[in-house]
């Protein structure tokens, strides 16, 4: 059977940020699409949909010697069940609990072969409350991780803050994750196309979005434990050296590296190599040639905790072929 | 199966197929030998009869204790379907999925819902609800129907069905366990794991058995009739582990019917002989004799993976079903 993978959108966000409102908005909008919805708490706000699966979050360690490789066992089971009804829905939306670490959810889509075959992670959407985000970031590791993992951030309840406050919140988000797209919203009113069908984990689209302030280096003004670093290399990379370096790095530092993305130019190769990792789980492939005239610069981005800038820079630059 | 023509498959001479239009969750012969197919569209098909058993998908199915079919669905219901297509709700468990079911001819049934394994009698009364540390990944009764084994994260739990006080014998092994089977003599329990490996326990002394090396996840495991071999899916051949002569510890498995570079997706052992039926990811079905390694082609690959295989009790009929909804059987009785 020619299997088209079913897209999965992961919806995260702190309790009260407006996740369920966004979910209901997606479901009720007149788009002609059917979604299977996996939720983890039947909250006070009901979810209006034909196919709602009530899941108990069960985070499992994969018994493969990789300590940070955790997956959601319940999701593996539920997606297995849903796949038997393939064709009855166009996509799956997974809503996590407010306190959830998004890593096990994301890793499930790379670590389990059945899930990997049947589905593709479309995007991680994080809903944050503009009014309370500062407090959340100060007291919660999960709130930072939810932002770090996000492809799209819905900056909700924007009507409750002043324009200056909104800008400050946005700056703080950018300090953690400059690569996510931020959508300001009131009552989670973002267009459905902004959150569904994004294909954000497609290697072809990695780093397609340049952060708006790439030149402005250190925007890390707050002391959030989670930060992002990006590096560029002007000379082509030696693939063997890069592989050895990144494998070693992910092995040793994978627990602190939440997301890693890169577009690489290998020596004597006209093709672009795209690379991404969620903690230690990495995925990479060639994604077509460099455009004529475009500078062939390799670029890598790390979002994580306790990142040593000089060390990472030296490591990356040492992968270049000799000048 | 290069070089084999369509006409060489038993299906052409001795078989019947049907397009059922839904994922075949299980092909089942009931206790009287009636063939039924449980589908993910919520129906049980028996010949020309379509029984609307569930409002939603059937997640697991087995032959019911005293005839007919027992199914668990994502509508939270446990349902009995009689051979004439009459549907009876056995139990309802709210909005949670009924993930796994099992039944024994003595009249006892089991159904798992999340972390709980419910044990029910013939009338559908819940006799006990057994808790597990995580969601149950698979259920199996031993051959006598005295013990129930449930797999989960971190191992498996063994319960005496009739015990006054429910305290499980916990078989521990790190990782997530799903498909589970008792050896026919009840001395061993084996599970298939998330990590493309199997794990077994010798119950007498808790001896661990690690069976690994699979390129894919094993979904289907079955002991041969006298328990000498454990047949497994998950490799590009039928992998059989020897449960005799000190095995499977330190013994290499036997591999049958390999060579097509397609993963085996389902296995079923003949009820009397050491013959294994195997289905593959491309829809191929074959039978292999363990001793000689001789392979008989049953159904040609039609593209959709075999999800389920079943023998009738006398071993004269073999049924199969696929993801795409093709179902069929071959009649092997002497003509």
Mean pLDDT score, B185-213: 94
Contact with chain A for residue B40, Cβ under 8 A: yes
Confidence band for A223, pLDDT divided at 50, 70 and 90: low
- Bigger pLDDT: A114 or B159? B159
Tell me which residue of A86, A95, A151 sits closest to A122, measured CA to CA: A151
Mean pLDDT of chain A: 86
User: Model confidence over A137-153: pLDDT tens digits?
Assistant: 888 888 999 999 999 99
Contact A1 B153 (CB under 8 A): no
Structural tokens at position B32? 């009287």
Give the residue carrying structure tokens 């996996």: A38
Contacts of B304 (CB under 8 A, 6+ apart): A1, B283, B322, B323, B324, B325, B326
Interface of B with A in 63-102 (CB under 8 A): 74, 95-97, 99
Residue-by-residue DSSP string for A202-215: -GGGTT-SPPTTTT
CB atoms within 10 A of CB B185: 12
Nearest by CB: B153 against A73, A78, A81: A73
% of chain B exceeding 90 in pLDDT: 90
- pLDDT for residue A217 is more than 50: no
Q: Do A1 and B95 touch (CB under 8 A)?
A: no
Supply the pLDDT for residue A267: 92
pLDDT at A215: 41
Which of B97, B101, B175, B176 should we substitute to test contact with A (largest number of A Cβ atoms within 10 Å)? B176
Of A6-10, A290-294, A317-321, B201-205, least confident by mean pLDDT is A290-294
Q: Which pLDDT belongs to residue A209?
A: 67
B23 CB near a chain A CB, below 8 Å? yes
Using a CB-CB cut-off of 8 Å, the residues of chain B touching A84 are 23, 25, 40, 57, 59
Tell me how far apart the alpha carbons of residues B172 and B260 are, in angstroms, rounded to a whole number: 36
| pLDDT score, position B1 | 59
C-beta separation of B318 from B310 below 8 A: yes
Q: Which residue of A has its CA nearest to B24?
A: A84
Mean pLDDT, residues A289-294: 85
Give pLDDT, residue A70: 86
> What's the pLDDT band for B191 if we cut at 50, 70, 90?
very high
Residue pair A67/A89 in contact by the 8 Å Cβ criterion? no
Rounded to the nearest 5°, which phi and psi values hold at B103?
-150, 155
- Left (φ > 0), alpha (ψ -120 to 50) or beta: where does B262 sit? beta
Alpha-carbon gap: B23 to the closest alpha carbon of chain A (Å): 6
Strands A51-54 and A35-39: parallel
Interface residues of chain A, partner chain B, Cβ below 8 Å: 1, 53-54, 56, 58, 60-64, 71, 73-74, 76-78, 81, 84-86, 112-114
**What tokens were used for B289?**
């004799």
Closest A-chain CA to B219: A114
Given a cut of 80, whether residue B2 has pLDDT beyond it is no
Task: Give pLDDT tens digits for B92-129.
Answer: 998 889 999 999 999 999 999 999 999 999 999 999 99
pLDDT score of B274:
96
Q: Which CATH class is domain B1-22+213-335?
A: mainly beta
Q: Write the pLDDT tens digit of every residue in A30-86.
A: 788 899 999 876 555 567 777 888 778 888 887 665 656 889 999 999 999 999 987
Is residue B25 classed exposed, middle or buried when 0-12, 13-18 and 19+ CB atoms within 10 A define those classes? buried
Determine the average pLDDT of the residues in B163-178. 94
Question: Residue B282 has what pLDDT?
Answer: 95
Q: Where are the beta strands (DSSP E) in B183-299?
A: 188-193, 197-202, 207-212, 221-223, 229-232, 238-242, 254-256, 264-269, 275-280, 285-289, 295-299
User: What was the pLDDT predicted at B260?
Assistant: 80
pLDDT of residue B150: 98
Whether pTM > 0.95 for this model: the answer is no
Q: Which of B114, B193, B323 sits opposite A56 (nearest CB)?
A: B114
CB proximity B286 to A under 8 Å: no
Residue A77 with chain B: CB contacts under 8 Å? 99, 135, 137
Distance (Å) from the alpha carbon of B273 to chain A's nearest alpha carbon: 33
- The rounded mean pLDDT for chain B is 94
pLDDT tier for residue B6 given thresholds of 50, 70 and 90: confident
CB contact under 8 A, A54 and B216: no
Instruction: State the greatest distance between any 2 C-alpha atoms of chain A, in Å, as a whole number.
Output: 62
What is the pLDDT averaged over residues B132-142?
Answer: 96
What pLDDT score was predicted for residue B249? 83
Q: Tell me, yes or no, if B216 comes closer than 8 A to chain A by beta carbon.
A: yes
Could you tell me the two tokens for A133? 């985000």
Q: Which of B73, B70, B78, B74 is nearest to B36 (CA)?
A: B70
> What does the angle CA B34 – CA B221 – CA A75 come to, to the nearest 5 degrees?
100
Domains of chain A, with CATH numbers? 6-201 (3.40.50.300), 226-317 (3.30.1220.10)
Give the ipTM of the model, two decimals please.
0.88
Residue A216 has pLDDT above 50, yes or no: no
């Amino acid at each position: 059977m020619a299997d088209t993978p079913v897209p999965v959108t992961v919806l995260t966000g702190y309790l009260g940020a407006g996740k369920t409102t966004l979910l209901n908005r997606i479901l009720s909008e007149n788009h002609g699409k059917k979604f299977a919805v996996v939720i983890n708490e039947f909250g006070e706000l009901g979810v209006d949909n034909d196919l709602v699966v009530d899941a108990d979050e069960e985070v499992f360690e994969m018994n493969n010697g990789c300590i940070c490789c955790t997956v959601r066992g319940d999701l593996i089971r539920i997606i297995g069940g849903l796949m038997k009804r393939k064709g009855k829905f166009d996509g799956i939306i997974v809503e996590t609990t407010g306190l959830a670490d998004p890593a096990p959810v994301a890793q499930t889509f790379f670590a389990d072969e059945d899930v990997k075959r049947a589905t593709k992670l479309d995007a991680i959407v994080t809903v944050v409350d503009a009014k309370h985000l500062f407090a959340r970031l100060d007291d919660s590791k999960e709130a930072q991780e939810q932002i770090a993992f996000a492809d799209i951030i819905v900056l909700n309840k924007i009507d409750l803050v002043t324009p200056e406050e909104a800008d400050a919140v946005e700056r703080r988000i950018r300090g953690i994750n400059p690569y996510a797209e931020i959508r300001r919203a009131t009552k989670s009113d973002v267009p459905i196309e902004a959150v569904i069908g994004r294909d954000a984990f497609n290697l072809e689209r990695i780093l397609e979005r340049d952060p708006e302030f790439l030149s402005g280096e250190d925007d890390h003004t707050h002391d959030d434990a989670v930060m992002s670093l990006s590096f560029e290399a002007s000379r082509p990379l030696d693939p063997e050296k890069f592989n050895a370096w990144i494998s070693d790095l992910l092995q040793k530092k994978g627990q602190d590296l939440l997301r890693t993305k890169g577009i690489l130019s290998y020596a004597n190769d006209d093709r672009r190599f795209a690379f991404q990792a969620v903690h230690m789980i990495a995925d990479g492939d060639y994604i077509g040639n460099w455009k004529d005239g475009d500078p062939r610069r390799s670029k890598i981005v790390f979002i994580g905790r306790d990142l040593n800038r000089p060390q990472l820079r030296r490591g990356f630059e040492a992968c270049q072929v000799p000048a | 199966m290069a070089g084999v023509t369509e006409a060489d498959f038993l299906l052409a001479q001795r078989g019947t197929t049907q397009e059922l239009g839904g994922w075949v969750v299980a092909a089942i012969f009931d206790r009287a030998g009636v063939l039924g197919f449980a589908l993910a569209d919520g129906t049980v098909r028996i010949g020309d009869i379509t029984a609307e058993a569930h409002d939603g998908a059937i997640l697991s199915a087995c032959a019911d204790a005293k005839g007919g079919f027992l199914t668990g669905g994502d509508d939270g219901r446990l349902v009995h379907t009689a051979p004439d297509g009459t549907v009876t709700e056995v139990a309802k468990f709210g909005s949670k999925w009924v993930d796994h079911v099992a039944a024994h001819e003595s009249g006892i049934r089991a159904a798992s819902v999340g972390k709980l394994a419910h044990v029910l009698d013939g009338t559908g009364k819940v006799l006990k609800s057994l808790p597990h540390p995580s969601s149950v990944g698979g259920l199996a009764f031993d051959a006598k129907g005295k013990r129930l084994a449930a797999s989960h994260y971190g191992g498996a739990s063994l319960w005496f069905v009739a015990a006054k006080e429910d305290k499980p014998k916990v078989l521990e092994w790190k990782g997530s366990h799903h498909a589970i089977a008792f050896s026919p003599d009840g001395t061993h329990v084996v599970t298939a794991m998330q990590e493309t490996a199997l794990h077994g326990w010798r119950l007498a002394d808790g001896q661990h058995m690690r069976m690994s090396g699979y390129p894919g996840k094993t979904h289907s495991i079955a002991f041969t009739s006298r328990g000498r071999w454990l047949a497994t899916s998950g490799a590009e051949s039928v992998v059989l582990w020897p449960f005799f002569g000190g095995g499977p510890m330190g013994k290499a498995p036997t591999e049958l019917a390999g060579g097509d570079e397609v993963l085996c997706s389902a296995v079923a052992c003949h009820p009397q002989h050491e013959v294994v039926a195997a289905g593959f990811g491309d829809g191929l079905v074959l039978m292999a004799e363990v001793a000689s390694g001789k392979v008989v082609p049953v159904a040609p690959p039609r593209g959709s993976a075999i999800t389920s295989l079943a023998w009738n009790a006398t071993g004269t009929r073999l049924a199969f079903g696929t993801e795409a909804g093709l179902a069929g059987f071959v009649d092997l009785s002497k003509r």
